[in-house]
């Protein structure tokens, strides 16, 4: 039976610094994004999408476009189902690789300036990566729950609601959309954690790439042109 030692988990000091810098950049970006969402949400794609979903619900209920609502909700549910299944399959696949990580350890030794100290550390990183995809699965599952709930709420008469019916329905729909949004962004965030298996230098490079992609994902207005926001 192999003897466990904490020395097997030790990194080169520079590797620990590089990992800390990468994590700090990811955390700082998301704190900045949370601040923007709280005070000026229409600067973000997520905030604009929340507003448009409310307008969509209001328009459908005013014009009684039941078939359009059903078709759109079905497409959203199918998309979330596909991503949820993919997240689970990838997460389980990564866990399977964890038990045969010797070749990955050799690849890391060849490609990274600061390779992991042992195969055990590679296994720890693989388990962390699988947890990232299981987290994505959780978000897509919650998105399915809220999509299904908003699917039958959208056709109910206003007298079944306390207060503004359109606002109540769009709030549930926005919960679904936000969970879907979080799930897809986790797929992007998984990129540096995948590269982290090779080494911290690859992890930091992946962080810079994914931050650029996330900025376009969160703030690009190319998909939002052509309509008027309040």
User: What pLDDT, in 10s, does the model give residues 26-39?
Assistant: 999 999 999 999 99
Q: Report the distance separating Cα 181 and Cα 218, nearest Å.
A: 10
- Among 141, 170, 139, smallest CA distance to 153 is for 170
With 0-12 CB in 10 A as exposed, 13-18 as middle and 19+ as buried, what is 157?
Answer: exposed
The pLDDT of residue 103 is: 64
- Among 21, 49, 46, smallest CA distance to 211 is for 21
The pLDDT of residue 227 is: 60
Residue position matching structure tokens 């949004």: 181
The pLDDT of residue 5 is: 44
Contacts of 210 (CB under 8 A, 6+ apart): 26, 188, 189, 191, 192
Q: Report the distance separating Cα 57 and Cα 176, nearest Å.
A: 14
Q: Report the distance separating Cα 165 and Cα 46, nearest Å.
A: 22
- Among 136, 132, 144, 143, smallest CA distance to 183 is for 136
Residues of the chain predicted below pLDDT 50 = 1-9
């Amino acid at each position: 039976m192999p003897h466990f030692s904490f020395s097997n988990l030790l990194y080169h000091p520079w590797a620990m610094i590089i990992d800390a810098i990468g994590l700090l950049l990811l955390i700082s970006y998301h704190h900045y994004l949370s601040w923007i969402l709280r005070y000026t949400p229409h600067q973000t794609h997520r905030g604009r999408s929340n507003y448009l979903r409310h307008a969509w619900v209001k328009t459908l209920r005013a014009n009684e476009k039941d078939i359009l609502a059903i078709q759109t909700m079905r497409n959203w549910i199918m998309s979330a189902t596909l991503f949820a299944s993919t997240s689970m399959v990838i997460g389980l696949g990564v866990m399977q690789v964890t038990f045969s990580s010797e070749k990955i350890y050799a690849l890391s030794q060849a490609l990274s300036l600061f390779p992991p100290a042992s195969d055990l550390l590679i296994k720890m990183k693989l388990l962390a990566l699988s947890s990232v995809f299981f987290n994505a699965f959780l978000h897509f599952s919650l998105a399915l729950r809220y999509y299904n709930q908003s699917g039958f709420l959208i056709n109910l008469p206003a007298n079944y609601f306390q207060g503004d019916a359109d606002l109540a329905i769009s709030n549930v729909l926005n919960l679904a959309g936000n969970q879907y949004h979080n799930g897809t962004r986790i797929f992007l965030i998984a990129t540096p954690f995948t590269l982290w298996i090779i080494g911290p230098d690859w992890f930091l490079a992946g962080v810079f790439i994914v931050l650029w992609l996330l900025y376009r994902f969160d703030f690009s207005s190319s998909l939002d042109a052509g309509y008027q926001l309040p």
